[in-house]
Each structure stands twice: as C-alpha cells, then as structure tokens.
Amino acid sequence: MNLGDITVDICICTYRRAHLTETIRSLSKIYLRPGWKIRVIVADNDETPSARMMAEAAARECSLTLTYLHAPARNISIARNACLDAARAPLLAFIDDDETATPVWLDALVKTLENEKADIVLGPVRAVYGRDAPEWMKKGDFFSSKPVWVNNEIRTGYAGNVMLRRSAPGLQGLRFRRELGRTGGEDSMFLYAAYKGGARIAYAQEAIVNEPVPAERARMQWLLKRKFRSGQTHGLFLLENSDSGLSIRLKNVGMASAKAMFCFAAALPNAARAERFRFWLLRGAMHAGVVARLLGKREIEQYG
C-alpha cells in the first residue's frame, strides 16, 4: 500500500448521544489525498435503533458513505466488535461519538502508520473544557489522553483515537471482550492483546481529536472513579499476565499498596497547589484500583 491508494473504514460506536452529528460532520472536513476513500460505520449500542435517523441525516448532509449497524445493547464491546465484523477496508479507525476530528487527523494517522511500519497508531485526545470547569482541572489537563511508553515502546492504549492495519498478524481473530463492555478497559485489553500478538503500536502527535468535557464530568468525584476503574484494568493485566501463585499476587498487592500510600502522602505537601494536590490523589486512586482488583473486587460499571 502507498499513500496514493488508501481506503479507510472510520468507526463510531454510539449510545444516545446527540453529539454524533458533530462527529460525522467533522469527518467530512478531514483532508483526503487524491485517491483516498473513507466509509463511516456507525454502531448503535442502544436497545432500539435510536441513532439511525441522526446518523443517516448527517451522512446525507455531508455526502459521506455510511453503514449503520444496530448493535444492542448497553455494552460497548458488542458495538466495537460489530465494527470489526463490518470493516472491509485495509485500514480501520475508531473515533468516539463525543469527539471531533481535526482536518489533518486521518492524514497524520496514515503517515505515521506507513513511516513507522506500525500495525496500530494512536493519536492524542485533546480535552476541551467549558468556561465553568474548575481552573485546577484546566491547568492539570486531567481529561486529555496520550499513550504511555514503557521501555521506549507503547504496549496498550485507547479506542477514542486509533487506527488499525487489519492485516496485522496480532489483530487476526482478536475481539473486544464482552465482560469488559460495561466497565471500560475493553480497548486497553484489546490493544495489549494485539501487542502481545506481535503488533507494533506507534503514536501520531498531530492526529488530534477534540473531546468536550461535559459539566457533569467536570468534577473530582468523576475523575476519582475513572482513575480507580483504570487501576482495576491494570490489576486485571497483572492477574492475567503474571504468575498465578499466591506469592506473586501478594507481591503485586504490596507494591500497588505502597504506591497508593506514597501518592496520597505526596498530595499533602501540595495542598496549596490545587492541580498538583489532585494529581497525586488521582494517582493514588489508580493504584488503589489495582489493589482492589487484585483482591477480587469486580470492575465498576461505567457504560450504559
């Protein structure tokens, strides 16, 4: 494949979100090189096909080719897997239904995929804060997402801004896990499984999508819950990818507990700096989530 002959299926999983129209409209404004083609796949995760008319109207308005899928219900993994099943193009990209793509989004993903000889490419999710969002939240930018590097490589990520090369060996037969479809973490586990299967993950810094932060989420309580849940996902990583012996589990519990206590202690000297105080509290909540999952607490349900 070369940059003059590209076909991409762009997938959006949706659940009762009016912003879907803006997401689709943003895809009509992305830069496409001569010979590039895109198809939009919308997987509606509601019990009834509530997003059909909205998706079809937005696609007609923007002259985009659309495939609508009804993929019930209230389990994001079902919708993501429906997109995998419907995809036919060599490249597949996911963008969330509360995000908008910037004009160079697709171009940056494809160029990085080719230049880095990668199988998966992640782009940044840039949070857009409302005027009423707390200043500490804006200053600390707690809602934006970027990948994490471990020993100079990316081992997992998120599905809010990602491109997959469908022919990659690490992706063959891979599915999003239904048991994680209401808790979250299904995308992290999917990408980690792809990495373990040999897929190479790269990062496209310029492939930005924007995600507005709703007022109901612009709260410390919501962030603490999200961080705790992400820690539970990491705890699941450890359970599934470490020796299953009791001594190893206790060692991991001890390490995560020590990290949580360190983070909570580090918050205290930063009490006067709102964003740093909350940064350490959130780190502590993440490690507490690891401990909880290692000790058998099931993941918090966040979706649907």
Measured CA to CA, the distance from residue 183 to residue 132 in angstroms comes to 28
What is the DSSP secondary structure assignment for residue 145, as one 8-state letter?
B
Beta bridge partners of 162: 94, 122
Q: How many residues does the chain have?
A: 304
Contact 182, 304 (CB under 8 A): yes
Beta bridge partners of 163: 93, 121
pLDDT number for residue 303: 59
Sequential pLDDT tens for the chain (304 residues): 567 789 999 999 999 999 999 999 999 999 999 999 999 999 999 999 999 999 999 999 999 999 999 999 999 999 999 999 999 999 999 999 999 999 999 999 999 999 999 999 999 999 999 999 999 999 999 999 999 999 999 999 999 999 999 999 999 999 999 999 999 999 999 999 999 999 999 999 999 999 999 999 999 999 999 999 999 999 999 999 887 778 888 999 999 999 999 999 999 999 999 999 999 999 999 999 999 999 988 776 765 5
Exposed, middle or buried: residue 251 (CB in 10 Å: 0-12, 13-18, 19+)? middle
Measured CA to CA, the distance from residue 141 to residue 128 in angstroms comes to 9
Cis preceding linkage at 93, omega within 30: no
| Residue 40 φ/ψ, nearest 5 degrees | -100, 130
The tokens for 71 are 């993929």
- In 107-198, the DSSP E strands lie at 120-122, 125-128, 149-150, 153-154, 161-165
